């Protein structure tokens, strides 16, 4: 019996010593990142059967295990991945929000200054210094568009550089985890299945860091290894085999960096952006797709709408030389980027803006289904505008032309507005070419007996400069004398074609009617007497005429965009507001997500973390257990001594 007591005491002494060593390990690593609290798993030895019953044989250590909760750890990983994505997104969007909303560098003040200068010029339209000042302000407006576009290009380049860096970091973490996988499998096999706690902690820490770069799914294996998946199940790590990520050029835009998966022994597999969620990489890609692309398109649309509308009205004016105005601004055509994988033969696709009022701040993807049928998708909202059919004459203010029928599978990325702010320029360099006057002048004959007056008149698209004056005569509430072949409308009503000049085709008249023909329109107010005449002629001396300048100034508040509901400045203000709201949304979401991370980490640490107070109490408890086992050995020794004395 004495030998049995001695054996029990020795086992108790060993277990107490193991507990003390484990507690010391916990205390020493209380501040070690990724460390998981360890504890001894102990069990009673198999008892010894005697005639009097079963007598215990002491205790033994079965294992040293981590106090690890897989569910709580998964919660922490998920929260950390989402938080890292939001932090990355916020860092990028704050740059854009500050850029477009800045009172000094934003477009709002520049547009206001441009039209303010035009207003001052309209008060003195013949002044060369005033014209030069206006031309200088136009250059300033263009330079502001260029500055914003260049800054957005720089941010795009930064995002591309960060994506490359993220890919390198992710590959490094995956490789390190693969090496730890191998060490863990070997260690646990050599240790007869005992957990390699410290190696497991190192691997979990690396997975946590990797998860903050890109969201990963962890699949534990029977041998102790982990498989890691990204996206919708793409393998990043299987056992010890790493499928590395690669930064590649976009199939359409070589200046855009995408991410591909390099499968061992295989080729690169392009990963859609939708699969790259979570972590810093996911935040960068979400920012680029949801905000940066939209801002560039919206800014370009504002530049195109302003320039095109200004050009349209400027061409209806007359300059100091008596010539019709030309384009005030120059613009490039929409950008069409064919896919690098398009089948032969190569087919050229061109796009043209035909209605700026319907233009959307979006890119489009055109895919050929063969036999002249196409699918056209608007990428801003993924709306399918054409589904396996012929292309319409125009859609969203765009028309398309192809050099031939595109082969099946050919695809093209169409960017109608992306380059608008980058390519806008002032087309004029001569102040005398600024068309501020109207090309027509109206007058009532001095000998008219009635009190009717004719308005100054205006011209619209389709106007052809007059080579001779047109005299209209009032007879019996009708106007006579319109040019042969002219199509006249009264208040926008049914057209009247002038088919005869002898006798003249009559046009009905009533006080205040708007008469339109050949791109000209005017009103006659009052009561004319039969025989009264009114003349419409070329504006031969329009140096001080500012009628077209006033019409150009009205464009500042004109509802040009979004189907005639939004002005240039309104469009830009909407863009700034949307970015500000998105930045605020990301900021609030980031703060909330960080709270979730803190809560999840706190819950995890309450189970797996080291509590120094608890460990201090354990030291005392295991010290007392050690002392008690030592005392038991002492008692067994005295029993042996007593037996020897007998």
% of the chain surpassing 70 pLDDT: 100
pLDDT per residue as tens digits for the range 238-297: 988 899 999 999 999 999 999 999 888 778 889 999 899 999 999 999 999 999 999 999
Mean pLDDT calculated for residue range 441-468: 92
Mean pLDDT calculated for residue range 567-591: 93
Nearest to 26 by CA among 621, 623, 618: 618
Neighbour tally for 414: CB within 10 Å: 23
pLDDT at 3: 59
pLDDT at 67: 92
pLDDT at 336 over 90: yes
pLDDT at 48 over 60: yes
Strands (E), 105-242: 216-220, 226-230, 234-238, 241-242
Contact of 401 with 350, CB cutoff 8 Å: yes
pLDDT per residue as tens digits for the range 185-243: 999 888 887 899 999 999 999 999 999 999 999 999 988 899 999 988 889 999 888 99
pLDDT at 1: 52
Mean pLDDT calculated for residue range 169-196: 91
Mean pLDDT calculated for residue range 15-25: 92
Report the residue count for the chain.
646
pLDDT at 502: 85
382: left (phi over 0), alpha (psi -120 to 50) or beta: left
CA distance 229 to 234: 5
Contact of 625 with 16, CB cutoff 8 Å: yes
Nearest to 127 by CA among 551, 544, 552: 544
Q: What does the domain layout of the chain look like in residue ranges? A: 2-67+610-645, 73-210+278-289+566-600, 333-418, 440-538
pLDDT at 40: 92
* Residues facing 367 on adjacent strands: 375, 411
DSSP letters along 427-457, please?
A: ----GGG---B-SEEEEE-TT--S--EE---
Q: What are the helix and strand counts (H, E) for the chain?
A: 11, 31
pLDDT at 639: 81
pLDDT at 462: 87
pLDDT per residue as tens digits for the range 519-536: 999 999 999 999 999 999
Q: Label residue 603 by pLDDT band (50, 70, 90).
A: very high
> Contacts by 622-628 with C-beta closer than 8 Å and gap 24+?
622/16, 622/19, 622/20, 622/23, 623/16, 623/20, 625/12, 625/15, 625/16, 625/19, 626/13, 626/16, 626/17, 626/20, 628/12
pLDDT per residue as tens digits for the range 481-525: 999 999 999 998 999 999 988 889 999 989 999 999 999 999 999
Per-residue tokens: 516: 């339109």
Q: What are phi and psi of 550, to 5 degrees?
A: -65, -40
CA distance 469 to 486: 14
Nearest to 405 by CA among 378, 365, 377, 366: 366
Task: Report which DSSP code applies to 34.
Answer: T
Contact of 391 with 379, CB cutoff 8 Å: no
Mean pLDDT calculated for residue range 156-182: 95
Contact of 488 with 495, CB cutoff 8 Å: yes
Q: Label residue 2 by pLDDT band (50, 70, 90).
A: low
pLDDT at 614: 92
pLDDT at 646 over 80: no
pLDDT per residue as tens digits for the range 349-397: 999 999 999 999 999 999 999 889 999 999 999 999 999 999 999 999 9
Mean pLDDT calculated for residue range 312-334: 93
Q: Label residue 5 by pLDDT band (50, 70, 90).
A: confident
| Cα-trace Rg, the chain | 41
Q: Give the H or E element holding residue 249.
A: strand 244-249
Mean pLDDT, all residues of the chain: 92
């Amino acid at each position: 019996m004495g030998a049995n007591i001695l054996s029990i005491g020795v086992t108790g002494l060993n277990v107490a010593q193991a507990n003390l060593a484990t507690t010391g390990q916990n205390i020493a690593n209380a501040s070690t990142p990724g460390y998981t609290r360890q504890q001894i798993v102990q069990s009673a030895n198999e008892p010894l059967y005697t005639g009097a019953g079963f007598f215990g044989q002491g205790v033994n250590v079965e294992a040293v295990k981590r106090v690890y909760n897989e569910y709580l750890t998964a919660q922490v990983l998920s929260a950390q991945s989402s938080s890292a994505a939001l932090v990355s997104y916020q860092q990028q969007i704050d740059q854009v929000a500050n850029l477009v909303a800045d009172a000094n560098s934003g477009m709002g003040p520049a547009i206001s200054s441009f039209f303010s200068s035009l207003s001052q010029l309209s008060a003195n339209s013949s002044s060369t210094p005033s014209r030069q000042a206006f031309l200088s302000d136009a250059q300033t407006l263009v330079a502001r568009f260029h500055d914003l576009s260049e800054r957005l290009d720089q941010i795009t380049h930064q995002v591309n550089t960060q994506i490359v860096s993220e890919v390198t970091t992710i590959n490094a973490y995956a490789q390190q985890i693969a090496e730890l996988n191998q060490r863990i499998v070997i260690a646990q096999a050599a240790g007869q299945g005992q957990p390699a706690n410290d190696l497991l902690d190192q691997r979990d820490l690396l997975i946590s860091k990797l998860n903050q770069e890109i969201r990963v799914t962890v699949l534990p294996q029977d041998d102790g290894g982990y498989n890691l998946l990204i996206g919708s199940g793409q393998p990043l790590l299987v056992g010890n085999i790493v499928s590395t990520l690669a930064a590649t050029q976009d199939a359409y835009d070589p200046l855009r960096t995408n991410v591909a998966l390099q499968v061992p022994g295989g080729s690169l597999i392009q990963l859609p952006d939708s699969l790259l969620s979570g972590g810093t990489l996911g935040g960068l890609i979400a920012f680029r797709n949801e905000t940066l692309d939209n801002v560039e398109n919206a800014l370009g649309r504002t530049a195109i709408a302003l320039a095109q509308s200004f050009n349209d009205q400027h061409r209806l004016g007359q300059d100091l030389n008596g010539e019709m105005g030309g384009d005030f601004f120059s613009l490039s055509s929409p950008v069409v980027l064919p896919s690098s994988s398009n089948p032969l033969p190569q087919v050229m696709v061109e796009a043209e803006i035909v209605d700026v009022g319907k233009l959307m701040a979006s890119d489009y993807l055109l895919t050929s289904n063969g036999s002249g049928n196409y699918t056209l998708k608007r990428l801003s909202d993924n709306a399918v505008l054409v589904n396996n059919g012929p292309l319409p004459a125009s859609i969203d203010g765009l028309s398309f032309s192809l050099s031939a029928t595109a082969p099946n599978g050919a695809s093209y990325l169409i960017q109608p507005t992306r380059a608008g702010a980058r390519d806008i320029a002032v087309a004029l360099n001569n102040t005398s070419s600024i068309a501020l006057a109207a090309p027509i002048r109206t007058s009532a004959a001095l000998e008219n007996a009635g009190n009717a007056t004719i308005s100054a008149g205006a011209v619209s698209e389709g106007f052809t400069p007059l080579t001779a004056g047109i005299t209209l005569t009032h007879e019996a509430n009708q106007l006579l004398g319109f040019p042969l072949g002219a199509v006249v409308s009264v208040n926008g009503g049914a057209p009247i074609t002038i088919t005869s000049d002898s006798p003249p085709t009559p046009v009905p008249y009533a006080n205040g009617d708007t008469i339109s023909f050949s791109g000209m329109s005017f009103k006659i107010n009052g009561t004319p007497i039969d025989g009264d005449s009114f003349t419409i002629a070329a504006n031969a001396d329009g140096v001080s005429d500012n009628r077209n300048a006033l019409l150009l100034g009205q464009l500042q508040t004109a509802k040009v965009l979004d189907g005639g509901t939004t002005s240039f400045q309104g469009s830009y203000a909407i863009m700034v507001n949307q970015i500000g709201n998105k930045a605020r949304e990301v900021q609030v979401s980031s703060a909330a997500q960080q709270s979730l991370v803190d809560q999840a980490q706190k819950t995890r640490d309450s189970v797996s973390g080291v509590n120094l107070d608890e460990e201090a109490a354990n030291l005392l408890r295991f010290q007392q257990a050690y002392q008690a086992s030592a005392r038991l050995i002492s008692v067994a020794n005295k029993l042996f001594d007593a037996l020897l004395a007998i």
